[in-house]
Amino acid sequence: MFTNKLILGDNLEILKTFDDNSIDLIYLDPPFFSNRNYEVIWGDEGEVRSFQDRWAGGIEHYLAWLKERVLQMHRILKPTGSIFLHCDWHANSYIRCEILDKIFKPNNFINEIVWCYTSASHSKLKLPNKHDTIYWYSKSEKYTINIDDIRIPYDDKTESNYKKGLKGSGTFYAGKIKSDDGILNKNGKIPEDWWSDIAIGARFPKNSDNNIGYPTQKPVKLLDRIIKCATNTGDIVLDPFVGGGTTVVVADKLNRKWIGIDQSVAAIRVSDLRLRNQHSLYSKPYELLLRKYDYDSLRNKDAFEFEIWIIQKFGGTPHSQKGADKGIDGHDPNGAPIQVKRSDNVGVNVVKNFSVSAKQYDKTLFENNVKQKKAVGFIIAFSFSRGAIEEVARLKNKEKIVIELIKVGDIVPYGKKPIVKLTANELENNKYALNATAKSETEVEFYSWDFDHKPEVGFKADIYLDKEGKQIKTFKTGEHQIAVEAVDKSGLDGMDTILVVSG
């Protein structure tokens, strides 16, 4: 079954793994073509590396970098699917003519949406650039569109004029305002292809859904309109440059399935925090796919679930029932048995017993593999004792029986999450200095804070992105459970909590 996913990695390589005709809507807000470095926002290695790749050359290099990704997006879109590509004046004409028209064809162009906004401008050399362009293309002539779902309510003046039959905003016909369907629709008007009713994120309070401190974050209302317009409940929405996570957050709220991809650890983990903030016990689960898995989570995973998962990652077929085959948990593509031990330092007795079980599992296959000097089976574990390794060598040398010992780390990369320490010092009445430190196998990327932590509901971020791990906070009188999470360069996170009693 499809599971919602946040994926850390290069979107080009990840898109290549997707099935043809599998996605209903793609919204992408790729880094804009600019000669300035403002697009490096998170500052982590994945983002910087991607930035350097894009800017090895000029506009032609940028277009080639984007085009190969859009080609994959066209392949994976369903015939009824749409793509919305968000760009600005630096390269919008190139993107339309050189990429979208050539890949999606001009006859599948639907709209050039102009998103207008206002903000401070200091240039006196030209008129301020205060709009972005969103190109909407379909894959075929038959595409999903729900125009009534995105109607904009009329303002009070328009409705009042309509009721009085007086000349107001709109054109009158037979005493009624002539709208798109000839009369004043009670649900509002269909938006034109210029959108001036959606404010940019900087207008909203810091650490709100619309302003998490990500400079190019797009507002919730913008994605809400796009997703409602071009998808139905249960459709699959993809954002291959997920950034601050607005697309997946909105898709999740609207009961769409979704996938978000980014090369930046911070982008993926901040998106994860936003999703956790809106999730409850009854929300649909999602997968967080990082470059490394958390060792503790793997070691503490349900044993049977772990067996199924790791055998599939190994390329084998797990057995569907617990304990059905006397210690044989699955087999490889050639039928050789696999045993999984969710433990470290697996000993010599496991190897001895497995050599017997492998023969009993399929005697003919076992004997053929011995003759051909192939592995008669595989044992998967986190690590093996010296005795186990020596027994494998003895079986091979003395009895010509080859058993392969496979470490979990050779199948999937894993690491240990950061160890976090949180302290609180009162500066004055009810005002505290909170300080978080963390030790990690890699460097710590950022910290997040939950100032009203409830273990039963999980970590709910009040502050998403803190590079220093330091906060000054004034509390009301009473007890306050504070939690801090540290995220390292692998995307792994650790947490510590402290109780503050202010009075």
CA 117, chain centre distance (Å):
27
CA 338, chain centre distance (Å):
33
Name the CA radius of gyration of the chain, rounded: 28
* The listed CATH number (3.40.50.1820, 3.60.15.10, 3.40.1350.10, 3.40.50.1000) that belongs to domain 296-411: 3.40.1350.10
- Asked if the domains 296-411 and 417-502 are classified in one and the same CATH topology, the answer is no
Of the candidates 192, 172, 167, 194, the one whose C-alpha atom is nearest the C-alpha of residue 182 is 172
What is the CATH number that goes with domain 417-502?
2.60.40.10
Neighbours of 98 (CB within 10 A): 17
Give the side-chain half-sphere CA count within 13 A for 365. 17
Q: Please name the helix (run of DSSP H) or strand (run of DSSP E) that holds residue 485, with its range, or none.
A: strand 478-488
CB 110 within 8 A of CB 143: yes
- Distance CA(181)–CA(92), nearest Å, equals 33
pLDDT of residue 288: 94
Name the E strands within 386-460.
402-407, 414-415, 419-428, 431-439, 444-450
Q: What per-residue string of b and e applies to 274-297 under the rule 16 or more CB within 10 Å gives b?
A: bbbbebeeeeeebebbbebbbbee
pLDDT (tens digit, 9 = 90+) per residue, 384-443?
999 999 999 999 999 999 999 999 999 999 999 999 999 999 999 999 999 999 999 999
Q: Please name the helix (run of DSSP H) or strand (run of DSSP E) that holds residue 412, with its range, or none.
A: none
Show pLDDT as tens, one digit a residue, over the chain (503 residues): 578 999 999 999 999 999 999 999 999 999 877 644 444 555 666 565 555 555 556 788 889 999 999 999 999 999 999 999 999 998 999 999 999 999 999 999 999 999 998 877 777 888 888 999 999 999 999 999 999 999 998 876 665 665 555 444 444 434 444 555 555 677 788 999 999 999 886 666 666 776 776 767 899 999 999 999 999 999 999 999 999 999 999 999 999 999 999 999 999 999 999 999 999 877 889 999 998 999 999 999 999 999 999 999 999 999 987 655 678 999 999 999 999 999 999 999 999 999 999 999 999 999 999 999 999 999 999 999 999 999 999 999 999 999 999 999 999 999 999 999 999 999 999 999 999 999 999 999 999 999 999 999 999 999 999 999 999 999 999 999 999 999 999 999 999 999 999 88
- Distance CA(322)–CA(304), nearest Å, equals 7
Burial of 482 (0-12, 13-18, 19+ CB in 10 A): buried
- Distance CA(131)–CA(92), nearest Å, equals 12
What is the CATH number that goes with domain 4-152+190-289?
3.40.50.150
- Distance CA(310)–CA(318), nearest Å, equals 9
Q: In the chain, what are the domain boundaries? A: 4-152+190-289, 156-187, 296-411, 417-502
